[in-house]
Amino acid sequence: MESAPILKLEHLGVTFPNHPVFEDLNLTIRQGEVWSVIGKNGVGKTTLMRTILHQLRPTHGKITYLPNQNEVTIGYVPQFRNIDADYPLTIKDFVGLNLTGWKLPWLSAKERAKVTKILAQTGLKQLAQRPIGQASGGEKQKAYLAQALVEAPNLLILDESTASLDPVTKTELLDLVAELNQRLQLTVLFVTHDIPMAQKYTQHYLMLTPGKVEQGPIEKLTTEKVWEGENV
């Protein structure tokens, strides 16, 4: 039985001045599904993610969050991050930054418990007191993931966040995401260039090509003609 849809994109399009990024995108993402959004540089993958995150207004079409917008929370791990190596910010503090609201400056006992729980789930418990600026690339990515997950989102977007990692660290991080997907029914959207990774970890694929959007089996999508945006 298919799970309930949490996100519906209907005839979605974004146009920058004199330059359509993508048009007529239709997509339904269901709870617990893992999707890969693939495509060459500059085809609008990050633009699509920013639109889903409400940072960009679509030029055409609409996005529906189901059952309603308040119940769909999104965790996003961006491609780049600028963290000063000398900041006195521990991994634990960094993860807690995402707990916002009109509250007291310090975290409540309940919020501290949330941070502790997500640090344990992401394998960062032993590194909680390490300054984020002094963490390795893989540890930083795990901390970014933990920060995105601390508010228990039901949709997680990873925007090329494993691109700079070595193969062992990348596999470790992706295995962790796969485990969280299984255990928490977390819906995951990978933005990636990494086709083998997409094949290993995802069941659904969306390919953006210049001026076109394709869905289907990865073997069909990655043929040269589709990749270049030609009709096949």
Partner 1 sequence: MFSYEFMRNAFAAGTIIAIICGIMGVFVIARNMSFLTHTLSEIGFSGAAFGVFAGWAPLNGMLLFTVVSSVIVGQLSARSERREAATSAISALFIGLGILFLSLANKNASYATSILFGSVIGISASDVQQMLWLSLLVLVVIFAIYRFLKFDSFDHTGARVKGLWTNVLSITFLVLLALSVSVAAQIVGSLLIFILLTLPAATAKYFAHTVGGMMILAIALALIGVWSGLVMSYISNFPVSFFIAAIEAVFYFIALGWQRLQTAE
Minimum distance from CB of 220 to partner 1 (Å)? 32
Q: What sign does the dihedral 211-29-172-95 (CA atoms) show? A: positive
Minimum distance from CB of 20 to partner 1 (Å)? 25
Compare residues 107 and 218 and give the one whose CB is closer to partner 1.
107
Compare residues 16 and 87 and give the one whose CB is closer to partner 1.
87
| Listed residue (115, 94, 96, 121) closest to 175, CA to CA | 121
Compare residues 27 and 77 and give the one whose CB is closer to partner 1.
77
DSSP labels, 6-74: EEEEEEEEEEETTEEEEEEEEEEEETT-EEEEE--TTSSHHHHHHHHTTSS--SEEEEEESS-GGG--E
Minimum distance from CB of 19 to partner 1 (Å)? 21
Cis peptide upstream of residue 20 (ω within 30 degrees of 0): no
User: In degrees to the nearest 10, what's the CA dihedral of 10, 180, 150, 196?
Assistant: -60
Compare residues 47 and 209 and give the one whose CB is closer to partner 1.
47
Compare residues 104 and 168 and give the one whose CB is closer to partner 1.
104
| Residues 19/167, Cβ–Cβ less than 8 Å | no
Minimum distance from CB of 104 to partner 1 (Å)? 8
Binding-site ranges for partner 1 (CB under 8 A): 53-55, 76, 78, 80-84, 86-90, 93-94, 97-103, 105-106, 129, 131, 144, 147
E strands within 68-219?
A: 74-77, 155-159, 187-192, 204-209, 212-215
Minimum distance from CB of 105 to partner 1 (Å)? 4
Compare residues 21 and 74 and give the one whose CB is closer to partner 1.
74
Minimum distance from CB of 28 to partner 1 (Å)? 24
